[in-house]
Every structure is written in structure tokens, then in C-alpha cells.
Amino acid sequence: MFWFAVIFVVAFAIAYATMPKPKGPELGTVESPTADEGRSIPVLFGTREIKGVNVVWYGDIRTEAVRKKGGKK
């Protein structure tokens, strides 16, 4: 019974060591929204994918703590 555990641990270590490592995005390949003055704002009809987005306004970015009252109803 002890040998099964040893074989399992060794097999798991070998599988983890030979697992391919994921590559992150390279610099310059991430298409993020921009806010350039003078750039046109596209008008779309239907479902479309926009590669170069010109963001005019995104909103107030802030966090608030979630407060929840628990207990008796």
C-alpha cells in the first residue's frame, strides 16, 4: 500500500515538471482602448467586433465595501 502512494507522488511530480508553461501576451500585442482627441467614434449597427476602440468616457472607477446585514429575518 505504501508503494502506491510513493508511485503516485513520483508520477505527479514528473507530470508537473513536464507540463508546458503558458506564455503571456508580448508587449505591443495587447489592444487596449485609447482616448485620442480627433479620432473618430464609430457608429455600429448589429453585432460587431471593434479592434481599435476610442474611449470617450469610461466611468468612475472606485471600490466600495459590500455591507450586508445578516442574522434573523
Residue-wise pLDDT for 51-67, tens only, equals 767 777 766 667 778 88
The pLDDT of residue 66: 80
Note whether 33 and 56 are within 8 A (CB): no
Give the C-alpha separation, 63 to 40, whole Å: 31
Q: Which residues are within 8 A (CB) of 34 and not within 5 positions of it... i.e. 6 or more apart?
A: 52, 53, 54, 55
Note whether 39 and 55 are within 8 A (CB): no
pTM comes to 0.33
